[in-house]
C-alpha cells in the first residue's frame, strides 16, 4: 500500500484522528501535548498516529494535507488544523461541539 493510500485509509477509518509526535500518554513535543490536552478534555475517544514512528507518513502527510506542521487534527475526514487552531477552537467551545457531534454520528452508524 502506498503511503498516500495508507494516510487516506487512516483518515477514512478514524472519525477523530490526531497525527502527532509521540502518544497521548507521552507526547514528544509541547505542541502535541497541548493538542492532546484540548482533545482529551472533549471527553471522546480519538485515534492517533505517532509520526516519529512512521517516517513515510511524516514525510508525505504535509504534502497530502497541504499543511506543513504537526500535530494535525482530522475530524470526519477533514483537516481541522494544528496546535494553535485546536487550542483556539477549544477555548471558544467549538472543538467540544465538533468532537461530540462527530462521535455521536459515528456511534449511530455502527
Q: Please give the annotated binding residues for [2Fe-2S] cluster, written as ranges.
A: 29
Q: Please give the annotated binding residues, written as ranges.
A: 21, 29, 58, 70, 83-84
Q: Please give the annotated binding residues for glutathione, written as ranges.
A: 21, 58, 70, 83-84
8 A C-beta contact, residue 77 and residue 48: no
Please give the biggest Cα pair distance in the chain. 39
CA distance 105 to 71: 24
Amino acid at each position: 500500500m502506498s503511503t498516500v493510500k495508507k494516510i487516506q485509509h487512516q483518515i477514512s477509518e478514524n472519525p477523530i484522528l490526531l497525527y502527532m509526535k509521540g502518544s497521548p500518554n507521552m507526547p514528544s513535543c509541547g505542541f502535541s501535548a497541548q493538542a492532546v490536552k484540548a482533545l482529551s478534555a472533549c471527553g471522546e475517544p480519538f485515534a492517533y498516529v505517532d509520526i516519529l514512528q512512521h517516517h513515510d507518513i511524516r514525510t508525505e502527510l504535509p504534502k497530502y494535507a497541504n499543511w506543513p506542521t504537526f500535530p494535525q487534527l482530522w475530524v470526519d475526514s477533514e483537516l481541522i488544523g494544528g496546535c494553535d487552531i485546536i487550542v483556539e477552537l477549544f477555548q471558544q467551545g467549538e472543538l467540544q461541539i465538533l468532537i461530540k457531534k462527530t462521535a455521536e454520528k459515528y456511534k449511530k452508524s455502527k
